[in-house]
Amino acid sequence: MENGSTELAQLSTGVAFGANRERRSERRSLTNREKAAVIVRLMLAKGSPITLSSLPEHIQASLAEQMSKMRLIDRRTLDRVVTEFVTELEEVGLSFPGGIEAALSIMDGHISTTAASRLRRLAGASSKADPWDRIAALPIERLLPVLEDESVEVAAVMLSKLAVPKAAELLGKLAGERARRVAFAVSLTGNVDPETVRRIGLSLVTELENLPARAFDTGPVERVCAILNQAPQTIRDEVLAGLDQDDKAFANLVRKAIFTFVHIPARINPRDVPKITRIVEQPILVTALAAATGTQELTDAADFFLANMSQRMAQSLREEIAERGKVKEKDGEAAQSAVISAIRVLETSGELALVQEEEE
């Protein structure tokens, strides 16, 4: 009898404990921060890919701190949090990018350059914005003057914050003595505090992005070359002669960038010739090749084409060229310009790459 009473008491205690646990579970209400910690912990436990580095650092720190305070979560609470999380995801109709840079990337081409620069400057003033993300996204040409003109200490900090391949490319473009000084300064950046690095980044962003809006997408050399590539040979020669008198250095840059019919043997890979002949109409190609007379360079360009296509097609083109006879200079230049335009189309689409001339 006494043993039976003891077992009954234990059973009653167990039932009471279970009931209290259920009531505690029902009363358990998690904060949003705790719910976030539960979801992150669950995804990590299941091996799901999750990247938190894009969140602001203070949120990352807050989340880690919250996870350190939590111990056990019962199954019912976990199910309730997951259900709520999934329901909220299903109710999302539209999401917006986080941060000014992501928003500007979506609106690229829809707002003015001035407005974009102003928004970036405002974002730079925010204590939560990381200026080095914007600096890292800038092209080499914009960053190189910083390494050349700023103090070696600032240059060393910038190199340390960039991805290694980009930093190596920048360092390789510096003069030998300057490169050595900057590289040595990198070895002295170990004790620089994060706030100093951030202030340097903010200063550089302001300097790099506070540039006047450009009216043209390409530089003057590229624009002059685009015009001269389509101009008749006589006009091209006259303009280059005039440029030699006014600015010889600029004239040399233009000459190096010009790409006309006579440059094809040096700038086109032989295996790419069939790609060109496929998109150029045969009558235009026949006219362009038939007009390639008068100078050795033009003859070499025509021979280059014929030597790098099938023998059958080359023979057919030779027969048509012979039948075509003498071509008017105007018609020949128009046909050769059409061939160059086709090459540019293939280059833009990535189907061929021009062979780069070696620097002297």
Taking the alpha carbons of 103, 108, 110, 116 in that order, is the dihedral positive or negative?
A: positive
Q: What is the CATH number of domain 220-348?
A: 1.10.220.30
Give the pLDDT of residue 9. 44
Which pLDDT value is given to residue 79? 87
Topology alike, domains 108-209 and 220-348: yes
pLDDT at 101: 61
Counting as low any pLDDT under 50, the low residues of the chain are 1-20, 22-23, 25-27, 127, 359-360
pLDDT tens figures, 106-121 = 776 677 766 766 666 6
Predicted confidence at residue 265, as pLDDT, reads: 93
Residue 348 CA to residue 342 CA, distance in Å, equals 10
Residue 317 has what pLDDT? 92
Domain ranges in the chain are 2-91, 108-209, 220-348
Terminal CA-to-CA distance of the chain, rounded, Å?
A: 109
In 28-130, which ranges are continuous DSSP H helix? 32-45, 57-69, 75-91, 100-106, 113-124
Q: What gap in Å lies between CA 42 and CA 25, rounded to an integer?
A: 19
CATH match of 108-209 with 2.60.120.10: no
Give 193-218 pLDDT, tens digit per residue: 888 888 888 888 777 766 555 556 67
pTM tops 0.75: no
